């Protein structure tokens, strides 16, 4: 069992920055590919970014490419999402995800573990 706890959400003005963190516990962290997803009100949960266990492979959704940066610290069992140049359309609950069966995670199907989410609100 893996527990994921997100933090760092909040209210920010458009153009501002936030840094989300996800602390993992329960299993060797490096065995898991990690990802960030988000779900806006009335919409389906969507992929944001993913990073492989060794940090060597990273993918971003087109909507956040160039603005968001995912990183992980395997010594501290954490994964982070630095979000810059935030837009009102980035408003959503952001979820941390972990999976041991894939090299990267690009969709919500069959993911092993989810955090409970942290709310990011970007005002215009």
Instruction: Tell me the per-residue pLDDT of 87-117, one tens digit each, with 9 for 90 and over.
Output: 999 999 999 999 998 889 999 988 999 999 9
- What whole-number distance in Å separates Cα of residue 83 and Cα of residue 103? 23
Instruction: Tell me the per-residue pLDDT of 12-61, one tens digit each, with 9 for 90 and over.
Output: 999 999 999 999 997 889 999 999 999 999 999 999 999 999 999 999 99
Above 90 in pLDDT, residue 1? no
- What whole-number distance in Å separates Cα of residue 49 and Cα of residue 16? 19
Which pLDDT score is estimated for 10?
Answer: 97
Per the document, the length of the chain is 124
Which pLDDT score is estimated for 97?
Answer: 97
Instruction: Label the pairing between strands 92-99 and 33-39.
Output: antiparallel
Tokens 């993992």 locate to 24
More confident residue, 120 or 101: 120
Above 90 in pLDDT, residue 7? yes
Q: Half-sphere exposure of residue 3, counting CA atoms within 13 Å on the CB side?
A: 3
Which pLDDT score is estimated for 11?
Answer: 98
């Amino acid at each position: 069992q893996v527990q994921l706890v997100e933090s760092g959400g909040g209210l920010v003005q458009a153009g501002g920055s936030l840094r989300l963190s996800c602390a993992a516990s329960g299993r060797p962290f490096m065995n898991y590919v990690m990802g960030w997803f988000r779900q806006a009100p009335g919409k389906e949960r969507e992929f944001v970014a993913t990073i492989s266990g060794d940090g060597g492979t990273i993918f971003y959704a087109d909507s956040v490419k160039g603005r968001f940066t995912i990183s992980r610290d395997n010594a501290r069992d954490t994964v982070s999402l630095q979000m810059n140049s935030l837009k009102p359309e980035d408003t959503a609950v952001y979820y941390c995800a972990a999976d041991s069966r894939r090299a990267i995670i690009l969709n919500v199907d069959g993911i092993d573990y989810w955090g409970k989410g942290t709310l990011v609100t970007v005002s215009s």
